[in-house]
Amino acid sequence: MPELPEVETVRNSLKEIILNQTIRSISINYNKIIKNVSEENFISSLVGQTFLDIDRHGKYLIFHLNDYYLISHLRMEGKYLIKNEEEINKHEHIIFTFDDFNMRYHDTRKFGTMHLYQKNINIFDELPLKNVGYEPFDNRLTIDNLYNKFQKMKKPIKTTLLDQKIIAGLGNIYADEVLYSTRINPLTQTNKLSREDVEKILNASRKVLKKAISLGGTTIRSFVSSHDISGRFQNELLIHTKKTCPNCRKEVAKIYVGSRGTYYCPDCQPLR
């Protein structure tokens, strides 16, 4: 699943291509991706609209058009591809056509979502964004704020870090990297963490995500940017998918926490 760095990479690459482009037509081959309006409403609302900006909140892309916000979540395998007149692939479900090229939403798993709202609506009061917390780069996510939330949670810290209501943008890969860099065991009960632990987690989240963004994200399976370029942070991973701990040189353990494959070093990240 594309996490914050991958979505930020998509945002940056799309901004270079589609800003100031006007939608001339839209083709929809799988309408279940569109969640809060009908297929007909989606098309009639967006044709003639121009892309003015693209923001991101956590793992969500927020496209700004003249009169609308289009909110897109890539889920497991979603991506935006820029093409000309090539034949439409069976996995290209929504095609936005401009004057000289088109942008295609490609999703082999069909799990991605799109929500459309008029600009007079506060999108952060509406689904899906109203259920998304602050991301690590947001100054509103303070150590005390996060510590107070953690004190109410008895689930494993790995599960907590994946909860987008608590911290937006972290996914399986980066949660493993953050916990390894802070030497916190992924099974540690969240409310047993000290304020110092929480500070380490927040700082590590910012550091790991910032570096991943600078390297265009992580490509382990299928992620590419809209320029069809793979990420490079997979070359910097310290623990996720690794066999040997880079610190103690002992074997890395793989377990499942809340059904998510989790990598950690039992020696460097002992359970408290």
Catalytic residues: 2-3, 59, 260
Report residue 119 as tokens: 């600009």
Using alpha carbons only, how large is the chain's radius of gyration in Å? 20
CA distances from 147 to 159, 170, 258 (A): 16, 17, 22
Cα separation, 72 vs 60, in Å, equals: 6
Side-by-side strand order, sheet with 79-83: 25-28, 92-97, 102-106, 79-83
